[in-house]
Each structure stands twice: as C-alpha cells, then as structure tokens.
Structure 1
C-alpha cells in the first residue's frame, strides 16, 4: 500500500533539539517539555496515525483494535514489534502497568465521559493525553461546534508531529495527502447535483449512523455528496429508520467491521420491504468503507476517492 512507502524508507534517527511545545487538545492546552518515549495509542485509526509519522520506536503498545477490528497486512507489519495491551478500551491499570507516558485516544475512542480513563485520571501518573479532534464534540465546548472536516485529521497529524518533535515529517505528509486528493478530484467529471448519502454503521431495530460531527460527514462532503443527516447535531449516533426513509438516500455507505459483515448489512437493507423504495436500494448503489477508512486517519484520503468515484457511477 502506498500509504507507508514514504515513511518506510526513511531513517528515523533522533530529531533535533526539542523546544517546549504546547498543543490544543479539545478544550485543554497541553504542554510538553520533551517528546514522549512510551506512548500508547487506542483504536486502529489512531494507531495508524502514529505509524505514518514513524513513531513506533516511541511506543510501548496499542489498545482497542482486536476487540472490534482485524489488522490488515499493512497494519500487522506496522505494529509487529508492539504488544496489544488491551483488546478493547484499556483500564487505568493497563496504561500504568505499561509505564506509558502518553496516551493518544479520543472520547468513545478509548475514553468515556465520566470513565476511569480520562486526561484527569491519568495525569497523577505522569501520563499525558492527546484527544482525537473529531471526538471533542462528546465533551462540548467551543472547540466542538463545527462540522467534521478533513482538517480534523490534518490537525491531529500536525499536533502529534509537534508533540513528538517530527513537525517537518507531519507537514510533508499533510501536504502530500492534500495534493494527492486535489489532483484526483480535479480529474473527475463534475457532479450535476450532490447525491444524498446515508451512512450505515450497524443496527437493525435502529441504525447507528454518522451525524454532522462524525468523520463520514466530512468524507462525503469532500467527495461531492451530502450526508442526509448533515443537520443532525450529533457525531456517531442512533436515529430512527423513519428519518432515513423520509430522506430517501441515493447512495448508502456501509461501514465494514465487527461480527456482521458488510455483505450481511447490505442483505438486511435489500431484503427489508420497508426500504424497497429507497433510491439507493432500487438502483443498488452501495459503497463499502472499512472502519479504518471511515474514522479519522490517513486512509481518509482513499475513502474520499472511493466515494467520489462511486458518486459518479449512474
């Protein structure tokens, strides 16, 4: 996969002298006097951000992947030398036991509001926390009042670069991603209208989907579409099927992960008489994104390309 070609051939020797660095993490400002040396990341997409920045030598492990997702060949190679400290969300004891000094996670990406693992509960043990930008909506505040955008992912790469003293590497990655995506989209024919898109994560009684603050909203917009729930002031959330039927999506994006396969999710939608008149079902317009593509991370670039191409197929 092209994603790692650049970083794989670089020698990640010690960086130049590190100046004290302060980054914004949701509603907190976090200051680092030195780069972390024993980092832990949670979830497959956050771990991949660490990998593309070449930070595995600064990590003592990762958490929260095998409980929900499977590592593909690229990810397996990237974390081959690292242990999975917890299959799902780690406990405070797991992070302390690993002698971690940094935890890259998010709200509902390894931390829960009011849970035992938060920036406040880890601080007494010398574990600094950087929070995933997309997840800030779960704790409110001024930093969480705009819809999700591609800049959320770029912001996290940029802040991680600053924290670990590899800002040049981060900026080069961001510039490359932006140029790659701009070139790809410029070569596509224009869309006559933005297609109406529904994101189907899971659930049969009520669908778990993406509102305006979830990353698929940004991916759909970047590809030229419109999330039918763009006006829903939520991130990943559950809605009623009535809202989906009323909006009549032209395209359904299925998020592939967990025990129920993308094919099974599609079969459920196609076989249910309640959805028979949806344009997406009638015209068999389904797009599958892997979890690691639909959540903030480097594979968002390929996700936008996949969606943009699918939006232009009649």
Structure 2
C-alpha cells in the first residue's frame, strides 16, 4: 500500500550480501596521482567502499536519497533519478529535481538492464527493495562489479537494521557522503544546522507533558501503524510525544483495531502520499477519519487532531530532522509561539 510496506516485504527477500572489501573507482591511470583527501573509505551494509575520487555520475533511488544530495548542493553530480510525484517538495528543491533526468517513472530504480546501462559511478538509495533480483533489479553485487557501488542511507540494509535506526544515523550518512564527494565542509555545516534545529526542539518541548501519539497509515482493522522501533518512533519521541504503540515490536506493522481503540491517542500522525502517480492512495484525511472512527472516544477523535506526515520523511534522509520540528510544532504549538 505504500513504499515502506513494499520495502519491508522486499527486505525480507534481500539481504545486504557482502561485497569485495574494496570497491575501487576509476582506471589505474586516474589513481596514479591521488586527489587531496582521497582515497576515502566508508563502511555501509557490512561492506567497505573505497573511492579514489569523488563520484561524478550518480543515480539516486527513492526521493529522500535525492533530497539528501541536493541538501549538500551536489546537483551537478546527479545523472539520473527516479520519479517523485509526492508533494510537497522541500523548499527550493522541486525546480532542481525537474532538471535531473528521470530514469524510472516509479519511485523504484529501473530494471536491471536499464540500470546497468546508466554507467553510474555511485548509487544512493534508502532500502534494499530496488536491488532485489527476484523483482528484476540489478543486485548490489552486480552494480559493484559494474563500477557502480551502492550506498544505503540509514543503515536500512536488512529488516533487523531498519528497526535499529537512530537519528544519529542521519548525521553519519551526511558525514560519509561529505567524505565520498570531497565536500566535508558542506557536510559539517549541514550537520551543525540540523543539530541546532534538533536542539531547539528539545529545548522548547522540555518539561512539557508528552502528547500521546498514534502514527498510522490507515486501515479499519487491522490498522497499518508504527510500533516502538525505527524512524517514525524516533521522530515522535524527539518531538515531545509518546508513541501509544511503543510496546509493539516493529516499525511498520499491523495492529488490531481493539489495541488502537484502547490506546486513547491525543493526536494522530498520518502517512501522506499526496499524489503518487499511477496509484490510488487514500487521502491522509480519509486515513485520519478511519483512526478517529476506531478510537472514537479518544481525545484525538474528539478534537479531530491529526497531522499529515509526508511518507518521504519516514525513510532515511535529510528530511527526518526537519520533520521532527514539524511534528513538535503540531504537538506543542504553544512552545513555538513568538
């Protein structure tokens, strides 16, 4: 029903298999005179990736990976992207997105032959779904062998790693990408900005009673919801909320209507797909109404209190910390008044 669910299924089919310990980029002649700051080696998905020079022909998968590179002002390195018909874009990014060639009309990377034909020297995505051989995609190993090393944001390399995500993983990714692309100063500045935004939220919500939050992707029973692990749970907590399903194991999972009703949420976060092309997605309002009908005696239902949370913010990438501030303003509006 949504990208995260697709990813969860695909992750059960595909593990981040070990690749050769070193992925060398570029012909030997180009490695003869090392660039300042290179070679660079980073670890990702249990693999070591080594770069002798910054990637210059990058392909990005689902949109949060592209957003992250745009936040680092690396537009000129991106040679291809997937389709992102959701809205809203982050401020100023839609125009930049439109200038980058689209190589897939879905949020997934293109099929194997098309992907290998891109000749990319770096591939950035935030899950393993687009590297599943059973789905017709080029695998991580095949892309590595073709000189197109793969980096997965947030450590979403297996179902287990998805559950271990922490906000610090966002900073680690930015630091690694800054090193890979030879722009560590940009990465450090971006990390400092995000850390400052998060510190501001933490200070504003400190001492306030946490708001009981249900995070849902709809459903009348069972309900597609977010348990006590992963990105969405982390964002709720950082924004001054308490996840009413914190005792449920997992990230994106199914929960009974009875449990949702008994949780008595004070506010509801709804995964918002907006206008995913080619798919008939229920609106965030419709999904909120489903939650209110189930928890009909809850404070959230009484006040019709919900926030549409772009689903892109529920995947690893630069947007995660920006979303925490948005959630905090929703949960604690008085903390953000002038």
Per-residue deviation, 1:23: 1.2
What are the residue-to-residue correspondences of 1:139-178 with 2, within 5 Å? 140=160, 144=161, 147-178=164-195
Q: Who is 1:31 aligned against? A: 50
What residue number does 1:80 align with?
A: 98
Whole-angstrom CA distance in 2 between matches of 1:206 and 1:35 = 47
Unaligned runs of 5+ in 2: 1-34
Q: Supply the RMSD in Å over aligned alpha carbons.
A: 2.5
Shift of 1:48: 0.2
Q: Is 1:250 matched with 2:271?
A: no
Q: What whole-Å deviation, never above 9, does each CA across 1:224-283 have from its counterpart, x for those lacking one? A: 21222333342323333333223222221012114322122223333x3x3312332123
State how many pairs are aligned.
Answer: 290
Specify every segment of 5 or more residues in structure 1 that has no aligned partner in the other structure, as ranges.
1-15
The Cα offsets for residues 107-165 of structure 1, whole Å up to 9 and x where unpaired, read as 25634486533312322221100012252342x3xxx3864322121121111111111
- Structure 1 Cα separation of the partners of residues 141 and 228 of structure 2: 28
- Greater shift in the superposed pair: 256-265 or 40-49: 256-265
The normalised TM-score by structure 2 is 0.77
Q: Would you say the 8 A contact 1:43–1:110 is kept in 2?
A: no
Output the CA distance in 1 between the equivalents of 2:287 and 2:74.
36
The equivalent of 1:276 in structure 2 is 296
Determine which of 224, 231, 234 is the counterpart of 2:250: 234
Match of 1:262 among 260, 272, 284: 284
Deviations 1:43-73 (A, max 9, x none): 121110010111111111111523xx24636
Give the distance between the partners of 2:266 and 2:88, measured in 1 at CA: 31
The answer for the alignment partner of 2:152 in structure 1 is 131
Report the TM-score, using the length of structure 1 for normalisation. Answer: 0.82
Question: What displacement does 1:28 show?
Answer: 2.0
